Structures are given as structure tokens and as C-alpha cells.
């Protein structure tokens, strides 16, 4: 039986990044979970704050060659509704940065993390599944699928929507579903994307192209489940032509690479994000549709909070109330992000004319009002910065009036 300061259950992107971050601090860490049976064909757009964190973990130099910068986001109302919104352009230069973030293919990103895990002396990688959890006053005892047992001061559940850690800790969830599925794939194209992501809002959900290096892009195409099923059946040449048509040929001729994958869309929020010796990160804590590049960025903020709360090794057992403190620290960010993504997605699906009008008016304001657009961009890059910027602006105005 081995004892660790922290055991992380789930070896996806969120769990692997948490393990690396904590092991770099000097903690004895075990990362538990089997390797994925099927390579993840999706990509992840990491925003500026997340990229800065990768740099602190000394990962960015190896990850950067896989990525394409997002210098602008172009939103187009692709619906055929009576009330349509004007196009909206968000440019990173408007808020003084080179790029909002970078788009990274998941599978090679995870391979880089696995190599880094193997090089950290305080990190142990266990590929057996965790099967049992016994929460005692002084430690957590974890039974593994190979018959062995390990113990830990703290457990981080990074084990996805059906999290065994969350269930064992008796933490409930609020779940909901959407009449949607996301088709994801990569494709090459004739014309350069200029590092611009284009998002067409349709009646069934967003159709979003995100740049990859060279004349290549990734696609997240949200459809009805039946349409998604039919899309997966299309021959590659017909699928390529369909994507080109949907994109209004803005990137010229399109050629789909490999086989597309499809994922049903649903939402999940844990009733608590931590309790006692347990903390939940990633989709064990929160899950929502792939809109606005919020998923892994929110998960990385979970990881940052875990590392901050745990602190450097002190030589004594980690506190039994760490999970409760984590819950308090993460609640506002997770709840607000989940609600905003859910509201945006439902506004696209709604056939109710007043809802369509409100959405169109909102996008019109963003299109015409530069300061408002800037505040929204800053909030997307650095959560909480929009409110701070408003406070500072008000202070300056009050100071000028008082002078």
C-alpha cells in the first residue's frame, strides 16, 4: 500500500494538468486511470489566461507548435428567422493582446502531458481504474481494479460526468439535456483562415470553425441528434462540399480529414464542488455545450485553485476541510459560466419571437458599441476583469470630478 499527498482520479486533460501542477510543487501525487481506448479527435481553444498558466508549468514551448492563434472571432447569424442579428467581430488587438488564445488538438496535447508526467519524480502514474473509496477522518483509502490499495490526504475527482469520486463522496448533481449533438472533425481548406474563427449561429446551434496550423481548421457543428447521425453517414467528398456550402465558401474548397465524431450535448453542475478531503475538477464538477471556448479554460481555473489552496508541501497532513474551502472558492465562477453558456445556447434554440429579438438587439449592441464589446472580451479572457474595469473607470470619473 502506498500513501500519497494527493491522488487524482481521471487521466484526461484536466486530471493530467492537475497532476503535473501539484507534482511540480513537490507533492507526492498519484494519477489514476486507464489510458483512453480511442484517440480524442476534438480540439480545445485555450484562452490567454490558460496559456499563461501552461507557461508557468513549462509546457507551452512544446505545445505551441501544435497550435494556431485566435486573433479574431467572427459571429454570423446564419438563421433564416425574421429577426436576424448583424455580424459581430471580436479582435484581440482591441483589448491590447496578440491573440485571445490558441487552438490545440486534444490527442497530441495529451501525449505531451503523458511524457511530462513520466519525467516528474514525485508523480506516480497508475493505469488501473479506481473502484472503491473509503473516506476516513485522517485519509482516503482507494481500492484499484488490479486488487491493490492506496491512501491519500486528498482526492481530486477529474473522472468525468459519471464521476465515481463524486458519487462516493455523496455529492449530488443537477443535470439537463439539449435536443442537440455536436459533430467534430478537422478539415483542410483552399484559402488561409488568417487565424480567424468564424461562428455561424443556426437554428440548431453554432457551426464553428476554429483555426489550426496551416490551411487547416477544426469544426464543431451542433445539430439535432438525427441530423448529426445522418452527417456521420455522408461520404467524405459530400461532407466536404456540405461544409463548404455551410461556410459560404469563405475558405474556398474544403477537404475533411479522417472520420468525424459525434457527442450528445447535455449539461451538469455538481451540487458541491468539494467536500472534506475531496475536490471535483473538470466535467466531474461542470459540463455544458462547446460554446465560447469555456470548458477546459474553466477546468484549468479549477486546477489553479486546487494548487493555490493546497500550497507547497509542509511536512504535515493536508487539511481535512480543503474540499469545503475549494467549494466556496469555485462556486461563483462555475455557476456564472454555466448559466451564461446555457442561456446563449437556449437563445439560439428558442422559436419565441421576443427571445430572438433580445438576442438580435444584444448582438447589435456588441457590433456597434466598442467599449461594451471590449468589456465582454476582457471578461471572456480574464473572468472578473470586466467588473474590475468598471470599478476603476468609475473611480477615475469620481476623482476627476472631485479635482
Does residue 107 register a pLDDT over 50?
Answer: yes
| Mean pLDDT, residues 211-231 | 94
144 vs 110: CA distance, rounded Å: 23
Helix (H, G, I), strand (E, B) or coil at 337: helix
295 vs 285: CA distance, rounded Å: 11
353 vs 125: CA distance, rounded Å: 53
| Mean pLDDT, residues 110-131 | 96
CATH classification number, 2-61+104-175+267-346, choose in 3.40.50.80, 3.50.50.60, 3.30.1490.190, 2.40.110.10:
3.50.50.60
Q: Are strands 254-270 and 173-189 parallel, antiparallel or unpaired?
A: antiparallel
323 vs 6: CA distance, rounded Å: 12
| Mean pLDDT, residues 136-163 | 95
The pLDDT tens digits of the residues spanning 290-304 come to 765 667 899 999 999
The pLDDT tens digits of the residues spanning 7-44 come to 999 999 999 999 999 999 999 999 999 987 777 778 88
The pLDDT tens digits of the residues spanning 338-356 come to 887 777 766 655 443 344 4
Task: Answer yes or no: are the C-beta atoms of 199 and 220 closer than 8 Å.
Answer: no
- CATH of the domain spanning 69-100+177-265: 3.30.9.10
300 vs 6: CA distance, rounded Å: 17
pLDDT above 90 coverage of the chain, percent: 62
CB atoms within 10 A of CB 401: 7
Q: For residue 129, report the phi and psi dihedrals to the nearest 5 degrees.
A: -80, 145
Cα-based angle 340, 184, 40 (whole degrees, multiple of 5): 100
Q: Which helix (H) or strand (E) holds 19?
A: helix 13-24
The pLDDT tens digits of the residues spanning 306-331 come to 999 999 998 889 999 999 999 999 99
60 vs 194: CA distance, rounded Å: 22
Domain ranges, ordered by start, for the chain: 2-61+104-175+267-346, 69-100+177-265, 351-402
Least confident interval from 28-42, 209-223, 243-257: 28-42
Amino acid at each position: 500500500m502506498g500513501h500519497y499527498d494527493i491522488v487524482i482520479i481521471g487521466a484526461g486533460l484536466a486530471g493530467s494538468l492537475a497532476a503535473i501542477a501539484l507534482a511540480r510543487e513537490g507533492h507526492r501525487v498519484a494519477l489514476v486511470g486507464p489510458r483512453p481506448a480511442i484517440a480524442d479527435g476534438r480540439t480545445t481553444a485555450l484562452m490567454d489566461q490558460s496559456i499563461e498558466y501552461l507557461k508557468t508549468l513549462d509546457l507551452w514551448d512544446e505545445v505551441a507548435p501544435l497550435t494556431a492563434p485566435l486573433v479574431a472571432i467572427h459571429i454570423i447569424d446564419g438563421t433564416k428567422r425574421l429577426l436576424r442579428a448583424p455580424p459581430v467581430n471580436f479582435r484581440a488587438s482591441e483589448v491590447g493582446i496578440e491573440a485571445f488564445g490558441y487552438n490545440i488538438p486534444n490527442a497530441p496535447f495529451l501525449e505531451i502531458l503523458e511524457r511530462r508526467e513520466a519525467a516528474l519524480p514525485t508523480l506516480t502514474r497508475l493505469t488501473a481504474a479506481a473502484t472503491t473509496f473509503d473516506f476516513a477522518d485522517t485519509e482516503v483509502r482507494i481500492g484499484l481494479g488490479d486488487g491493490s490499495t492506496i491512501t491519500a490526504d486528498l482526492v481530486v475527482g477529474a473522472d468525468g460526468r459519471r464521476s465515481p469520486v463524486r458519487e462516493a463522496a455523496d455529492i449530488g448533481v443537477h443535470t439537463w439535456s439539449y435536443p442537440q449533438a455536436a459533430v467534430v472533425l478537422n478539415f483542410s481548406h483552399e484559402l488561409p483562415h488568417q487565424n480567424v474563427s468564424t461562428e455561424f449561429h443556426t437554428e440548431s446551434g453554432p457551426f464553428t470553425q476554429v483555426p489550426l496550423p496551416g490551411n487547416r481548421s477544426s469544426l464543431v457543428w451542433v445539430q439535432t441528434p438525427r441530423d448529426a447521425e445522418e452527417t456521420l453517414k455522408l461520404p467524405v467528398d459530400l461532407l466536404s462540399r456540405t461544409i463548404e456550402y455551410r461556410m459560404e465558401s469563405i475558405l474556398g474548397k474544403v477537404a475533411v480529414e479522417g472520420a468525424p465524431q459525434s457527442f450528445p450535448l447535455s449539461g451538469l453542475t455538481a451540487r458541491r464542488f468539494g467536500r472534506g478531503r475531496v475536490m471535483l475538477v473538470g466535467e466531474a464538477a461542470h459540463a455544458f455545450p462547446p460554446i465560447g471556448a469555456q470548458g477546459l479554460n474553466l477546468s484549468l481555473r479549477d486546477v489553479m485553485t486546487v494548487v493555490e489552496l493546497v500550497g507547497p508541501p509542509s511536512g504535515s497532513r493536508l487539511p481535512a476541510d480543503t474540499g469545503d474551502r475549494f467549494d466556496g472558492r469555485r462556486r461563483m465562477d462555475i455557476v456564472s459560466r454555466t448559466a451564461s453558456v446555457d442561456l446563449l445556447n437556449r437563445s439560439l434554440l428558442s422559436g419565441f419571437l421576443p427571445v430572438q429579438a433580445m438576442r438580435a438587439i444584444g448582438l447589435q449592441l456588441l457590433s456597434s458599441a466598442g467599449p461594451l464589446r471590449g468589456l465582454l472580451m476582457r471578461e471572456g479572457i480574464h473572468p472578473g476583469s470586466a467588473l474590475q474595469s468598471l470599478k476603476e473607470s468609475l473611480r477615475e470619473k469620481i476623482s476627476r470630478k472631485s479635482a
